[in-house]
Structure 1
Amino acid sequence: MERPRFGAVSGPFEGTAESRLVPLRWVEWGPASGKPVVCVHGLTRNARDFDALARHLAAQGRRVICVDVPGRGLSGWLPEGRFYAVPHYIAAMMPLLTSLGEFDWVGTSMGGLIGMGVCATPGLKMRRFVINDIGPFVPVAALERIRTYLSEPRIFADIAGLEAYLRQVHAPFGPLADEEWAHLAHYSARMRPDGQVALHYDPAIMEPMQGELADVDLWPLWPAVASRPVLVLRGERSDLLLRETALRMGESPGVQVATIPRCGHAPALMEPAQVALVAHFLAG
């Protein structure tokens, strides 16, 4: 069975008066000579969400790089919560992305927003883009829902308690098997010195969401995004990627839209049909 490898680089991020570096880590699958696919997770998630997809793509000869965004998983935390924003994530990933040359991108939720920023960054060469349940318009009601479940740090007595929480808050991921929920829980856990379990991200990631929220409108970026083949995945019950937004995205030449049944925000990309859909698109 394909086993993951682990990579790391210290990448710069902008926004401070002094030069700063953040350790960026990722999980890598497949042959080093394969055409690269970069997979980037959602707001509170981590690189191991993509294990099922990565194994499948690696078996097809692709080099798959699943990144822990700064502040999540094994990557470093940023010194202040206000730095948790897309421009800083892209800056931290620049050493990795420039080393790859041309690459494909699979981005779930926040990972899709980061990918949109990558499309507009000079010198970065994205070939094909899978946008999983996010778009250039995000309604404020969805942001307020996310802020609600981020508002209190969650501490659990054990991983079983953390898994029960994930099953509740991430029910829109779709109908997952028990072993898939256990997988998500295992890699979402950070052991504390007191023996309790915390979620594996910096609680300060919510700082940019404090204060008054508003709709996010990134339509001015869309022409740069849609200049390459794009597959948009939308959970049929998603509150982040509205149906009318997905339809408008699909009006651009070269953009395909697929609705994933029995899901909200966001399809977990673990079900074989979802994995096959992404793999088929990336093989084009």
Structure 2
Amino acid sequence: MSGDPRGGGALHRRVHARAPGKINVFFEVGGVGDDGYHPVASVYQAVSLYEDVWAEASAEYTIAVTGDVDVSGVPLDESNLAVRAARLVAGRLGWDGGIHLDVRKGVPVAGGMGGGSADAAAALVAVNELLEGHLSPLELQGLAAQLGADVPFAVLGGTAIGTGRGDELAPALARGRFDWVLVTSDEGLSTPAVYGELDRLRSLPDITPDYGVPRIDPGVLQALRGGDVTALAGAIHNDLERAALSLRPGLGDLLAEGRAVGALASVVSGSGPTVALLAADADDARRLADAAASRRLTAFAAHGPVQGARIVAP
């Protein structure tokens, strides 16, 4: 596809897409395999903190990033996941020009909430629309799987079970609305470092279980299906929390403070360092966020499930 497939339209359009961050309501990690990867069993929920991406045709592949969160650590070169996503879908469609992306981030950077993956998902959707590619959501999820384990879920959204490396997805029924408060940290955590610490802790000389094939706790799925926030509070779990706390002991204080101010449950989200507090309802979430702010913590009220990457009408 040389130039514009519609006689110049792409060269004069700017397409806006939006994708959500996520939390891991449940996350179990198996033993590391010979390939260096860990099988996981996860329940993802997309929440109402968003990444916005605008795509337009350009001579080269470029990106600019702003945000409501600290974006100083976001790469602005070819290593950026959104740029890789734009190249991937444009290559699939035969586009031989470039793409410029403007990204506005609302998901904490390196916070275990999949912000970079949401950027990539939004870029896939935006460039597909820009170039009138007509790739289906399933085709976009296939491209997303080439970019990272969390990207397919950012395309799908809602609530889903993730297995394998986390990118083998099956939608999960979740009735009603679940309200969360996300408490962020000034310094991120490296996902590979957290997995490495998990392996180190599991290798310590104590009586440990055989970390085989991870499985979802049925109680989590039952609570989601029933819209039962109290039952969900009792079933939330994250295997990576232990490793995140080992690397960043102060997160234990955040978890305890969340429970102290009335959260139904508190858990490290994904590889951290963001802490997710489960609230009884929207009013309770606002109260928890205000309580966190009074303690000089950075907190965002959000709810889920919300839909995945989508085009935002002009």
What TM-score results when the alignment is normalised by the length of structure 1?
A: 0.27
Identify the structure with the greater helix proportion.
Answer: 1
What TM-score results when the alignment is normalised by the length of structure 2?
A: 0.25
Which one scores higher on RCO, CA 8 angstroms, separation ≥ 6?
A: 2
